[in-house]
Chain A
Amino acid sequence: MTVTGVAPPAAAPPVPAAGTARVTDRRSARAFVDTHVAPYADAYDRAGRVPEELLRRVAEAGLWAPFLPPGAGGTGMDWVTLGEVHEEVGRGCSSLRSLLTVHTMAAWTVQRWGSPEQRERWAPAFAAGERLGAFCLSEPGAGSDTSGITTTAAESGGGWALNGVKKWTTGGQRADVFLVFARTEASIGAFLVPRDTPGVEVRPIDDMLGTRASMLAEISFTDVVLDKDALLGPSGFTAGMVLTGTLDLGRYSVAAGSVGIVQACLEASAAYAASREVGGTPLARLPLIQAKLSDMVTDARAARLLLAEAGRLKDAGEASTIMATWVAKYFASTAAARHASEAVQIHGANGCSTDYPVARYYRDAKVMEIIEGSNEIQRTTIAGQADRERTG
């Protein structure tokens, strides 16, 4: 896709096309993305945000939390299909996919761990996109090392008092409710904190390297008073499971988005290589360029299969989905970073400009290697599996 006559940075993002059909599978997701997302993604990137109209279109398409059961406002979409849908969104715009990811994490956590009252209060609003969720784990001083978080939730007056600072919160500028992980006396607990609670302060973080339209924020919580039922899930040793499960879904969605980036790199590169000639020969005929394209094709398929396998295991309720998701995310994110770099290479100077989307893919792909468990943490965890399962 070529975008010309672009808006200057920080201009209002363009309004997506009207008319939205429900998204139920990969095909309808692809149509949605090709109509409402991909043509505008470069402009969103430059504006540093996506427009409210797009968020509404996502709601009209039923895309915010389709995995919730019908009683909670979803359609009970299976995880394999959800992975395909997030792949398609990631193919068009990693920033929007990031917003979907953190919303998915919040919505699923409420559904999985919430009390019936909590589910009733939040799930339908999450499904309809009337309330957008964000995920607050990282802090200025703690990222990979989640045990290093210093935000605290102390029992107080029958409820909780929350204090601390969260950083890099995707969607934080826009979200209505934050899923905040904080230290309790027993362990780390998950708390739902509406944005308008007194003591919550949101400071935008702009100009990130990638996913620039995902509206990051730093959020401070100062003596925030929460009801007792702001805590989601069990306390004690299993409280860590809430975080593990939440991150597992985030990783699954980022893996899907990374497959989408590889696919986008492939589509852009194949089109460019077919039309660009050097010395009278299309790039597509040059063996060194063919090698890059063939690796993109192969890795897109391999990453998609790993993702589908992780999704199938989720649908079957198999515990091995967690490791399968680590592997899928590791493979897909590194493939995305590698192929986005090659996509820029194939485009030459054009690839470094704003005339083609591949520079955005390159910047977004780098982020995929850092979020939801950096590459180093992924490799350490996967190696840990190899070690614990060794028989000798």
Chain B
Amino acid sequence: MTDTKGQILGFVRDRYPQAEITESQDIFALGFVNSLFAMELVMFVEKTFGVTIPNEELRIDNFRTANSMSELVTRLLAEPAVA
């Protein structure tokens, strides 16, 4: 597992210690995500990986699983920063 993925999973598991979550599990399907958690998740990703997630990337598919979030981070880190 990549470090990015591990950190994201660690964050989700920290918030929901009683749930067993894997890297490919859809956290929306598990019913975890309310707007408060969505906000926390986005803040966590931005802060931990030093990225700004543009509005058009704030799509549900980018946040369904630790895998998809990790791919989003990798993609954002590869892109030149835009103003």
Does chain A bind chain B? yes
Chain A residue nearest in CB terms to B62: A238
A236 touching B15 by the CB < 8 A rule?
no
Mask, A348-392, CB within 8 Å of B = 1, is 000000000000000000000000000000000100000011111
Chain A residue nearest in CB terms to B45: A319
Interface residues of B in 13-44 (CB under 8 A from A): 14-18, 28, 33-36, 38-44
Query: How many residues of chain B get a CB closer than 8 Å to chain A's CBs?
Result: 27
Residues in A neighbouring B63, C-beta threshold 8 A = 237-238
A241 touching B17 by the CB < 8 A rule?
no
Bound-state Cα–Cα, A238 to B55, Å: 9
Contact of A317 with B by CB under 8 A: yes
Residues in A neighbouring B36, C-beta threshold 8 A = 244, 322, 381
Within the complex, the shortest CB–CB distance from B7 to chain A, in Å, comes to: 13
Main secondary structure of the interface of A (DSSP, over half): helix
A238 touching B42 by the CB < 8 A rule?
yes
Contact of A234 with B by CB under 8 A: yes
Contact of B47 with A by CB under 8 A: yes
B43 touching A317 by the CB < 8 A rule?
yes
Interface residues of A in 224-242 (CB under 8 A from B): 233-234, 236-238, 240-241
Residues in B neighbouring A241, C-beta threshold 8 A = 35, 38-39, 42, 58
A319 touching B43 by the CB < 8 A rule?
yes
What residues of chain A have their CB less than 8 Å away from a CB belonging to chain B? 113, 115-116, 233-234, 236-238, 240-241, 243-245, 248, 316-322, 381, 388-392
In addition to A241-B42, A317-B46, A322-B39, 6 A-B residue pairs with Cβ atoms within 8 Å of each other are: A236-B59, A236-B60, A238-B42, A243-B35, A319-B39, A392-B18
